[in-house]
Amino acid sequence: MSATAAAAPSAESRNAPAPDSIIDARHLSKVYDLGAQQVRAMDDVSLQIKKGEYVAIMGPSGSGKSTLMNVIGCLDVPSSGEYWLRQQEVSRLSEDELAEIRNREIGFVFQTFHLLARQTALRNVELPLVYAAVRAAERRERALELLRLVGLEARANHKPNELSGGERQRVAIARSLVNRPALLLADEPTGNLDSRTGKEILELFDQLHAGGNTILLVTHDPEVGKRAARIVRVRDGRIESDTRRP
Amino acid sequence: MIALIEGIRIALSAIWSQKLRSALTLLCVIIAILSIIAVVSVLDGMDQYVRDEVVGAGANVFTLRRVDELKILTDLQAFLDSLSNPRITLADYKALHAELTLAEFVDPLRTLGGTLEAVASGRSLKNVEIQGRGAEYPGIEDIELSAGEHLNQGDVDQRREVIVLGDEVATTLFPDVDPVGQKVRLDSRHYEVVGVFAKRANVLGRNRNVFGVVPLSALFAQYGQFRSINVLVKARQLDGFGAAVEEARALMRVRHGLRPDRDDDFNLTTAEQFLTFWEKISSGIFATLIGVVSITLVVGGIIIMNVMLVSVTERTREIGVRKALGAKRGNILFQFLVESVTLTSAGGIVGIVLGFAVAFLVGAFTPFPYAVKPWSIVAALGIVFAVGVFFGLYPASRASKLQPVEALRRE
């Protein structure tokens, strides 16, 4: 099922998405009011992603892909449209409700890693579980399990400044997965890494995809985009194309 | 519960990572708490001491005086009015001694400062309090001898030039001979040492061992009797104390020819009055303390608020990351509140420890016992908690309201 570019009837849009749907965005728009001028950063975007897909969102800077990613990641809300994350409509939720959704459903991987500098790798990986109010012993166990998965078990007690860029991104990936999210959302995950390390990280994403994770990767790098089975191109706040690798 | 433990853990690591800044930030809080603990402890020790020593020694003793010097602090007009009171004379003392039926002992007192010199060795001591007394003072004041004898009635009647030395005077003038039997010079006259008083503890920081007691009659013979004296009276029974005071008052009013509508032109001071006076002083010190501490705490609180605001700005990205990972507003608010409360509590604990250290030092180097008051610890901790919450609330609320997208974007 590809993205529905055409406007769906409103009666239909009130229906809950299919059971295997992870993202079902319907006519999302985001308008920034800059005083005299209104900027339409996202314009009638509809996008569906099913469980287990590996999708790359590509576009030049200023294309609106960051806005789309923020809305998909529940960091921001659309000005209009519906956004179903799994079986829940989240576009009108309050800030705290969105925080809970982010905590439970979304794993973030950022370009600049965004690890807490003063905390060890283990503590960083545990962080989402802290906000999910998981007990300390269980947190530790799960965080170690994820660090093992990304091959950094031995570095658990190192702080970010004692780790290489690639290791930091692995810690961030472990953190993104620790609460078993429905969606792994990666924003230019290789942007701050050299090409060899970047390749390793992308191989890790391949493994995670193979393991059943749903991955949405935002990038402007065609080499990175090639990894995904499906590429959604964004330009001027609209979806320009949505293609699947044969 | 998890949130609380995590909050404190995060706060401690944030404070620890900025050790110097935290210490400087907390200086005001530390000083405020230190003052509370130290002053409360010392004041309480002093209070205990005053009650034990001053009141205990002279429980049923009152003093007839021309003016009440304590009034200079409590009632200045009354003090100024009393300056025109007639002198209390030796004749007044004799009348009281002869006619008071409810008094057990009556003794005059007149003091002057002087230099005593050991005649044999030439050693001398300045600013010795020379007390001219009668023979009944041992019955009035709890004052023990370490050697020799007290003045006796014969010494007083014969105006003998004899002296009983305070402990420090004796040890200073006669470091290596027995003082009893030695001569000391007071201006032109030589006094023979007949006794030495046992060492006395200080009261309110005053050294009470640099004195000597001579017969008032001898002192008057040497210097002339132009000055007013005090008369100390010890009531026969403690429960008859009020009656004894009134008896003395009536006698003095008759002697001064006062009509019933006139106020006393003399002063009768009781230990109770001294206690009232002391309570006024100590509550004054306490009120001043509260004022100073409040100002210090407000300043300390503002500094903490400022530092917390800087911290929120510096850690905008951290807040963004935490929010992205699922922190709600409440989590962030709580985190920064716990941080400021932990900060002030750390200051409070340091202040409490230093405060008791100061109180202990005061206790070690002065005669005041310091008393550890559990309520002062509770109060101090309560105060720092309140300061932490009050001044941490605004920065914490600013942090909690940051939008995750913008917070993540900021460097």
Which amino acid appears at position B19 of this protein?
A: K
How far, in Å, CA of A224 to CA of A198, rounded?
9
Q: Look at A75 and B330 and tell me if their CB atoms are within 8 Å.
A: no
Describe chain B by its helix, strand, coil percentages, rounded to 5: 60, 15, 25
Taking contacts as CB-CB distances below 8 angstroms, the residues of chain A near B329 are 95-96, 99
Which amino acid appears at position B47 of this protein?
A: D
Which amino acid appears at position A181 of this protein?
A: P
Q: What angle separates helix A136-149 from helix A165-177, to the nearest 10 degrees?
A: 130
Q: Look at A127 and B325 and tell me if their CB atoms are within 8 Å.
A: yes
Q: Does A76 touch chain B (CB under 8 A)?
A: yes
* Nearest residue in chain A measured CA to CA from B331: A131
Residue A12 in this model has a pLDDT that exceeds 50: no
Residue B244 in this model has a pLDDT that exceeds 80: yes
- Average confidence score pLDDT of chain A: 90
> What pLDDT shows up at residue A2?
43
Taking contacts as CB-CB distances below 8 angstroms, the residues of chain A near B13 are 118-119
Q: What is the mean pLDDT of residues B7-22?
A: 80
Which amino acid appears at position B38 of this protein?
A: A
* Nearest residue in chain A measured CA to CA from B14: A118
φ/ψ of residue A34, rounded to 5: -105, 60
Residue from B68, B39, B69, B37 nearest B283 by CA: B39
Residue B55 in this model has a pLDDT that exceeds 60: no
Alpha helices in A7-135 (DSSP H): 10-13, 65-72, 95-105, 121-131
Q: Does A81 touch chain B (CB under 8 A)?
A: no
Give tens-digit pLDDT for A164-221. Answer: 999 999 999 999 999 999 999 999 999 999 999 999 999 999 999 999 999 999 998 8
Compute the nearest-CA separation of A94 from chain B (Å): 11
CB atoms inside a 10 Å sphere around CB A220? 15
Taking contacts as CB-CB distances below 8 angstroms, the residues of chain B near A70 are 405
Whole-prediction pTM: 0.71
A33 in the Ramachandran plot: left (φ > 0), alpha (ψ -120 to 50) or beta?
A: beta
Two structure tokens written together for B101 = 């039926």
Two structure tokens written together for B365 = 């180097």
Q: What angle do CA A178, A180, A184 make, to 5 degrees?
A: 90
- Considering only CB atoms, A130 lies closest to which of B2, B321, B404, namely B2
Label residue B184 by pLDDT band (50, 70, 90). very high
Q: Are A45 and A29 in contact (CB under 8 A)?
A: yes
φ/ψ of residue B389, rounded to 5: -70, -45
Label residue B18 by pLDDT band (50, 70, 90). confident
Q: Is the ipTM of this complex over 0.85?
A: yes
> What pLDDT shows up at residue B276?
80
> What pLDDT shows up at residue A5?
42
Taking contacts as CB-CB distances below 8 angstroms, the residues of chain B near A131 are 322, 325-328, 331
φ/ψ of residue B48, rounded to 5: -55, -45
Task: Measure CA B148 to chain center.
Answer: 34
Label residue B241 by pLDDT band (50, 70, 90). confident
Taking contacts as CB-CB distances below 8 angstroms, the residues of chain B near A179 are 326
Q: What percent of chain B has pLDDT over 70?
A: 94
Two structure tokens written together for B404 = 């995750």
Q: What angle separates helix B19-49 from helix B2-17, to the nearest 10 degrees?
A: 100
Two structure tokens written together for A126 = 């545990």
Label residue A9 by pLDDT band (50, 70, 90). very low
Mapping DSSP to helix (H, G, I), strand (E, B) and coil, where does residue A50 land? strand
Q: Does B316 touch chain A (CB under 8 A)?
A: no
How far, in Å, CA of A68 to CA of A71, rounded?
5
Residue B204 in this model has a pLDDT that exceeds 70: no
Residue from A8, A54, A50 nearest A219 by CA: A54
Mention every residue, 6+ apart, whose C-beta is less than 8 A from residue B60. Answer: B234, B235, B237, B238, B241, B244
> What pLDDT shows up at residue B273?
75
How far, in Å, CA of B334 to CA of B329, rounded?
8
Give tens-digit pLDDT for B208-238. Answer: 889 999 999 999 999 887 788 999 999 887 7
Q: Look at A100 and B328 and tell me if their CB atoms are within 8 Å.
A: yes
| Residue B18, Cβ density class (10 Å: 0-12 exposed, 13-18 middle, ≥19 buried) | middle
- Which residues partner with A50 through β-bridges? A21
Residue with the bigger pLDDT between B383 and B2: it is B383
- Average confidence score pLDDT of chain B: 87
> What pLDDT shows up at residue B1?
62
Give tens-digit pLDDT for A109-166. Answer: 999 999 998 889 999 999 999 999 999 999 999 999 999 999 999 999 999 999 999 9
